[in-house]
Amino acid sequence: MSQNAIVPVLSEIQAATGSTASEAAWVVTGFFVSSAVLTVIAGRLGDLFGRKPVLLVSLGLFAAGGVIAAAGGSLGAVVVGRVIMGVAGGVFPLSFAILGRLLPRDRAAFGMGMVSSMLGLGGALGLPVGGLVADHFGYQGLFWGAAGMAAVALAAIALLVPGVPDRGTGRVDWVGALLLTLALSTSLLAVSRGEAWGWLSAPVLALFGSGVVGLAVLVAFERRVRDPLVNLDLMRRRNVWLAHALGFLVTCGQITAFLLVPQMVRLPAGGGAGLDAGATQAGLYLLPFSLTTLVAGALTGRAVARFGTRPPLAVGAASAVVGLAVLGFCPVGPVTVLVGAGATGIGGGTVYSVLPVLIAEAVPENEAGATNGINTIIRNIAMAIVSQVSAVVLVLWTPAGEEHPVRVAFTIDYGMSALLNLLALCLVPLVLPRQGVGGRRGRGPLPRGADRAHGRVPERGRKERPTGARPEAERPDDRRACS
């Protein structure tokens, strides 16, 4: 919600601080870049020093950033506050890791589904809530509210979430963190500012080049370091790279619907592209997207417990394909927009709820936070790319002298995203059967390396069994894999 709620108040921040539109855009860019960079770092710190302490620190920094942005009274203070608030990017990877550690397998899947649905719901509600709060309390009220909610969440987690002995071994890979920061920040900055500066301008090309070089150096360094920030060996595990690929592809469809539905319905009626809706009505057309994301996320955890991960993934990807196709190719009308947005939301809510389960069951427990952080970064990259590509398509298909794009522009954007989600659907059969969170069931031998993935043989030679696990002698069926 915090990421999107700022968009409606950018003009107010610009007017209040006497800045230009280009300068005010750093309020969005700073948060976007810092949240992407800090996500995997926070996840890795949680793996090493405990997820709950790092989560509490993250929420505390988020609240402090909100206070700085609200009380600073200048554009610089708002930008600095938003950059600090970007530490919240690590909240979801840490939450997934905590759930995987605390709860039995099936309850963990349900909990991860609920948390994932909150991510989608918060993003969808950000625009209307941000505008509503700013109208009544100014842009400062938005930051005070964010800081207050973070403080409440911090207190609730400190009091209600039990501590677990989840400290890992190893050292913090600060060089890897620096290289990751360089690679991500330069690349994302180029993507987010490319339209304003020019895609072929020297600054954008230099940023892209720096990002590529930084990524190459990061990969070479992480292959040699003993305790890498990004464990490249885990990236080769099938369910891990599939989780990253599915996250990227499905996010392309979700962000397309989220960005284009409000723009499309606000276009003048009669030209086949819009419904002449006002700002409030445009937000209401996204309501099915928000509600279905929430409901699908809540139900997916139970579906995973009963049917495994493949069926929910297939249903989610197929639903997104159908929803995007309806939005792109059916005549624009209230019913088609509502149905298309709702079906697309089902896809995102379902798939996002399964991804942390795939990761939790495929990596050692002491790598879950960092791996979930990488998944979040990949989804953020998809958001950045699609937002720029969709905007370019709309500009290219706006007739000379006209103010609005034609219908075919939206068809192209929705169609491309539908194809990407169709590719995601084709990847689902490659997903390996469930391997277990807190215990396993089913038939058949474990795949090679599954012992290490389950945490029974921890990484780096540590000989300890997970909390709550029974001795080997008491688990005669332990060599069976999940169906």
Domain boundaries 2-160+229-430, corresponding CATH code: 1.20.1250.20
What are the CA-CA distances from residue 380 to residues 15, 169, 248, 254, 306 (Å)? 29, 29, 8, 12, 30
pLDDT (0 to 100) of residue 464:
42
The answer to whether the pTM exceeds 0.75 is yes
* pLDDT tens track for 185-242: 888 888 877 877 888 899 999 999 999 999 999 999 988 888 888 888 888 899 999 9
Instruction: Over range 292-307, report the average pLDDT.
Output: 87
**Among candidate residues 363, 368, 357, the one with its CA nearest the CA of residue 166:** 368
For residue 268, the tally of other CB atoms under 10 A from its CB is: 11
Residue 153: the pLDDT is 94
434 pLDDT higher than 80: no
Q: What is the pLDDT of residue 166?
A: 62
Mean pLDDT of the chain: 82
* Ranges of each domain in the chain: 2-160+229-430, 173-228
pLDDT of the residue at 124: 66
pLDDT, mean of residues 361-375: 86
- Residue 328 and residue 413 in contact, taking contact as beta carbons nearer than 8 Å: yes
Is residue 133's pLDDT more than 50?
A: yes
| Between residues 343 and 384, the one the model is more confident about | 343
The predicted model gives 287-309 an average pLDDT of 88
Distance separating alpha carbons of residues 97 and 454, to the nearest angstrom: 14
